[in-house]
Structure 1
Amino acid sequence: MGAILENLTTGGPVIALLAVISLLSITLIAVKLLQLWPVTSGKDQRQNAIELWQTGDKHGAQAQIEQGKSPADRILQYAMGALQNGLKGPLLTAELERRGNEEVQRMNGLIRLLELIAMVSPLLGLLGTVLGMIQSFQELELAQGAANASVLAGGIWQALLTTAAGLVVAIPAAIAAGLFSARIDRAALMIESAVGQLMLADHGR
């Protein structure tokens, strides 16, 4: 463990910055995982609620989704309440679209920051490598050819360490951002599907 810490400290401020960014990335991934875990849940309950609505059991339909935790549940619950209060047509459509956009925007929060981490971390690692290589060759020049080859190789190895660290930080962030974005897209489609089915069921009644 001590050897690992010693190797990390030899990377200089770039390694320290990447360590901070890594902690930030892990925290963001954990927060988004907790937030997005339930966003695709409740499909069967929504389907049952829409079937109850179509049969005229409005209270039963609303009771089916009262405890729902997904954006589609919240939008569907509002749509049912609005229809029961007589709100229909373009006004209801516009309000549902606004609420749906807000839900998607809320789910997308911090995803851009993860994408930025995935993009910037390799560049920081490359910067550290370039700076380390410059320092190694400066030492070689100052030694006027008398430098030990193993010492030079050690300096180059330490410089390349920052590139590896940048990739280690970037890869999980990029994977997480991609998976989260795909899950958000699924949740958005579920919102559209649930609202569309409700409108058809209400029209059928």
Structure 2
Amino acid sequence: MNLSAFLTAVQDTFARGGELLQLGGPVVAVLAAMSVAALAVVLAKLWQFRRLRLSDRRTVEHSLAAYRRGDVPSALATLDDHPNPVAQTVAAAIRFRRDRPDAGELQREEALRQAGVRLEALRSHLRVLDVIATLSPLLGLFGTVLGMIDAFQEMAAAGNQVDPSVLSGGIWEALMTTAVGLGVAIPATAAASWLDRRVERATHAMEDAVTQVFTAELAHAPDTHDTESHPRHARAYPAAQSAAS
């Protein structure tokens, strides 16, 4: 497609959009504004998630593996300057454990508080999509009802000389607002559901990673039942037994 054909197609699209706004009236204009707002929110969230590298999970897994081995500097070096909110939360939790190992519960609460702040930033503007997805079909139905009222008013004013074409034209214009409302609501609902799922996965990843940081010692702790049944196994964990005593 050459440039002139592309410009012609764009011009035709805008012309059809103007006709649609003229036929649908203010309801279609509101729906068009809502569709633009929904598209802006989706693009902004996609850019935010890409900038934060929200899909990157290996970095956190590698850091947690280093932390479980006791290599705290390597665990923090893996997470430093990483934009992922899960990575930032894990780095904060590791530093809490390193600097104040005696205040585990308070540190966990603070790490979860910071996680909640980061998650709130991820959820920002998602409510706008939910509102648009809910209100768009209702606005479309409202426009249809108004159009039907106008059509039947014209039919009543015409009396016995009713023109079926006028009535069908009025009904067509009325039903068009419902179609526009559904056309806005369906993609908005799909986008909101997908973005919500991305945030839910990040929430689970944060909670799981913070728990792993504060329970890393349990992964190497001996089983008391096994040590009682097999005394020779108890000699394999002198550090754990001295810490317990």
Rounded Cα–Cα distance in structure 2 between residues aligned with 1:39 and 1:74: 12
The 5-angstrom pairing of residues 28-177 of structure 1 reads 28-37=41-50, 38=52, 40-87=54-101, 88-177=103-192
In structure 2, stretches of 5+ residues that fail to align are 1-11, 222-245
Rounded Cα–Cα distance in structure 2 between residues aligned with 1:83 and 1:3: 62
Q: Deviations over 1:145-172 (max 9, x none)?
A: 3132112111110110100011111111
Rounded Cα–Cα distance in structure 2 between residues aligned with 1:85 and 1:22: 50
Structure 1 range deviating more: 169-178 or 141-150: 141-150
Counterpart in the other structure of 2:216 = 201
Rounded Cα–Cα distance in structure 1 between residues aligned with 2:215 and 2:160: 82
Structure 1 range deviating more: 25-34 or 36-45: 36-45
The one-letter code sitting in structure 1 at the alignment partner of 2:44 is V
The one-letter code sitting in structure 2 at the alignment partner of 1:34 is W
Report how many aligned residue pairs link the two structures: 205
Residue pair 1:39, 1:187 contacting (<8 A) in 2 also: no
Structure 1 range deviating more: 31-40 or 8-17: 31-40
- Report which structure shows greater RCO (CA 8 Å, sep ≥6): 1
TM-score, length-scaled by structure 2: 0.78
Q: Deviations over 1:105-160 (max 9, x none)?
A: 22111112211111111111111100011101111111113132112111110110
The one-letter code sitting in structure 2 at the alignment partner of 1:19 is A
Structure 1 range deviating more: 108-117 or 161-170: 108-117
| Residue aligned with 2:100, SS | coil
Rounded Cα–Cα distance in structure 2 between residues aligned with 1:70 and 1:133: 52
Residue pair 2:93, 2:108 contacting (<8 A) in 1 also: no
Residue pair 2:108, 2:210 contacting (<8 A) in 1 also: no
> Cα distance, 1:46 vs. partner?
1.4
Residue pair 1:51, 1:201 contacting (<8 A) in 2 also: no
Q: Deviations over 1:164-185 (max 9, x none)?
A: 0111111111111111111111
Rounded Cα–Cα distance in structure 1 between residues aligned with 2:16 and 2:90: 56
| Residue aligned with 2:215, SS | helix
TM-score, length-scaled by structure 1: 0.92
Rounded Cα–Cα distance in structure 2 between residues aligned with 1:69 and 1:50: 17
Rounded Cα–Cα distance in structure 2 between residues aligned with 1:7 and 1:42: 43
Identity of aligned residues (%): 36
Residue pair 1:42, 1:73 contacting (<8 A) in 2 also: no
> Cα distance, 1:40 vs. partner?
3.6
Rounded Cα–Cα distance in structure 2 between residues aligned with 1:129 and 1:145: 25
Rounded Cα–Cα distance in structure 2 between residues aligned with 1:95 and 1:108: 20
| Residue aligned with 2:24, SS | coil
The one-letter code sitting in structure 1 at the alignment partner of 2:176 is L
Partner residue of 2:38 out of 25, 37, 56: 25
Counterpart in the other structure of 1:5 = 18
